Structure 1
Amino acid sequence: MKVLLVSRNSFFTSALGAVLEQDGIRFAVSVEDFLTLCRCGGNASGAADVLVVDMGEGLSEVVFRALSKLHQDKPRLRSLLVVPGFDAAQLARIFACGPAGCVQSCAPLSTFPQYIRLAAEGQRVLPDGAADVLHRLVQSTRPLASLRAIQTGLTQRETQVLGQLLRGAPNKEIAHALSVPLTTVKSDVKSIMQKTGAANRTALAVSAVQAGLGKAEQSTLHYA
C-alpha cells in the first residue's frame, strides 16, 4: 500500500510521515496543494492507493467540486480528508463527493495508520463525535406532517426545488438544473423551510425520510 500526503503544513506531513514509516506504510508527500493537484488531473497521485488530504483551510464549494471530479476520474482511488471541524451537512457532502473517510485534525497521529488501512479496504472512516452529531440532529428534527401535505402545500417549482434539495444539490446547481435565477432558488428554499418547519437542509432531509419520502418519491418530486 502506498499513501500520498497532501498538505501545505510541513510539520503535519513530517510528523505523520514518521508515524507511517514506523508502521511500515510507504508514502510520498505532494509539493502541491489539493486544488493544484486536481487541476493537474490528479496525475501527482500516481500509483497511490490512499490520498490523505489536509483540509486545514476548510471545505469550500470549489473543493467539493474538485473532490467529485477527482473520484469520477479515479474511481479506485481512496481518499481520507483531515478537517479542522465538521457538521452533519458537511459530513454528508464529503461522502457524497467520493472520499472514503474523514478525520479531525485533532485526532492523534498514532490512529492514522488504522484509518488509512480501513480507507484502503474501502471502509467508511467517520471522525470522532460523528455519531453524537447525527444523533442530536435526528433528535432535534420534527417529522414533516406527511408526504401528501408536502406535495399539496408547495408550489410546482418549490416541489422541483425540494426534489433537488433531497439529492444534496447546492443552490447554484439547482438554478442550473431548473433554468431559473439563483435568487429564485434562494427564495424557494426559504419558502420550503418555512412551510415544512425545517431549520436547515440537513434537517429537511431527515424529516423527509421520517415522513416516508423515499428515493422513488424524490425522483417524482424532481421531475414534477
Structure 2
Amino acid sequence: MIRILLADDHKLVRTGFKLMLDVQPDMKVVGEAADGDEAVDLSRRLRPDVVLMDLHMPGLDGVGATERITAELPEVRVLALSTFDLDENVVAALRAGADGFLPKDVSPEELIEGVRVVHRGDAAVAPRLLTRLIGTFVRAGTRPRQAPAALTGLTDREREILVLIARGRSNPEIATELSVSPSTVKNHVTSLFAKIGARDRAQAVIVAYEAALIHPGE
C-alpha cells in the first residue's frame, strides 16, 4: 500500500486528488496539509511514502517544504505539482530533492502513474519534457554554475552517459547507442549518481546543464 500525503492550500483540490487516489487498490491518502509547514510536520509524524506537493502555498511554499522533507526524511518521495508547465519553481523543487513534477490539471491516469513511478524510485518526469523545461530557463538567462568537484571524478564513460541522460535518452536507448547491455548502463548510472550527489535523473540533468556539459538546442 502506497501511503500518500496531500499538500495543497485548496481543499477542493485535495478532495479531488483524494477521490482519485483512494479508489486505487494500492494507494491510501493518510493526511492532508494546507501549507508547507503543515506538510513538513505531517511528513515527520505520518512518514508517508509519497507527498503530492503543490509548489504555490502561503507561508512556507512547496519548494521550501520539499527541501526540509527530503533532507530530514530521505525515504519520503516528493512529487511536485504546478499550475504551469514551465514554472521556474519546478526546477527549484527538483534541485531541492523532488522526485518529479506534474501539472495540476494532469489526468487521473497520469497522476496515479506518477505516484507509482516516484514510489518505486524513478523520476516522474518525461526526459524530453525535463530537458525542454531546464533548457527554457538556461536560455532565459540562467548562467551555468561551476562544475561540482565530484564531476571531475567521473570516468569518461560515466560523463558520456550523463550527457546522454541530459539529452533525454532512457537507459535502453543509451545501451543501444553505446552498444552495451542495459545492466551495464544501469551500473554506470548508479555510480555516476553517487559521485555527483543526484538522487535521480531529474537532478542529474540539472547538474549536466549547470556544469555546461550540455547546452539548450543540442
- Do the structures match in fold with TM over 0.5? yes
* Matched residue SS, 2:31: strand
Query: Residues 35 and 60 of structure 2 are in contact (CA less than 8 Å); yes or no, is this contact kept in structure 1?
Result: no
Query: Residues 82 and 103 of structure 2 are in contact (CA less than 8 Å); yes or no, is this contact kept in structure 1?
Result: yes
Task: Describe the shift of the 1:63–1:91 C-alpha distance in structure 2 as closer, same or farther (beyond 3 A).
Answer: closer
Deviations 1:176-217 (A, max 9, x none): xxxxxxxxxxxxxxxxxxxxxxxxxx9xx5683359xxxxxx
Residue identity (%): 11
Give 1:52's aligned residue. 52
Query: Residues 80 and 102 of structure 1 are in contact (CA less than 8 Å); yes or no, is this contact kept in structure 2?
Result: yes
Give 2:98's aligned residue. 99
Q: Which amino acid aligns with 1:28?
A: V
Aligned residue pair count: 152
Gaps of 5+ in 2: 149-205
TM-score w.r.t. the length of structure 2 is: 0.55
Cα distance in 1, alignment partners of residues 129 and 57 from structure 2: 21
Q: Does 1:34 align with 2:33?
A: no
Cα distance in 2, alignment partners of residues 162 and 133 from structure 1: 18
Structure 1 stretches of at least 4 aligned residues deviating more than 4 Å after TM superposition: 60-63, 134-138
Gaps of 5+ in 1: 145-160, 168-201, 212-224
- The higher radius of gyration belongs to 1
* Matched residue SS, 1:209: coil
Task: Describe the shift of the 1:70–1:135 C-alpha distance in structure 2 as closer, same or farther (beyond 3 A).
Answer: closer
Q: Which amino acid aligns with 1:48?
A: P
The partner residue of 1:208 within 185, 201, 212 is: 212
Query: Residues 62 and 93 of structure 2 are in contact (CA less than 8 Å); yes or no, is this contact kept in structure 1?
Result: no
> 1:20 deviation in Å?
1.1
Task: Describe the shift of the 1:33–1:132 C-alpha distance in structure 2 as closer, same or farther (beyond 3 A).
Answer: same
Task: Describe the shift of the 1:210–1:98 C-alpha distance in structure 2 as closer, same or farther (beyond 3 A).
Answer: closer
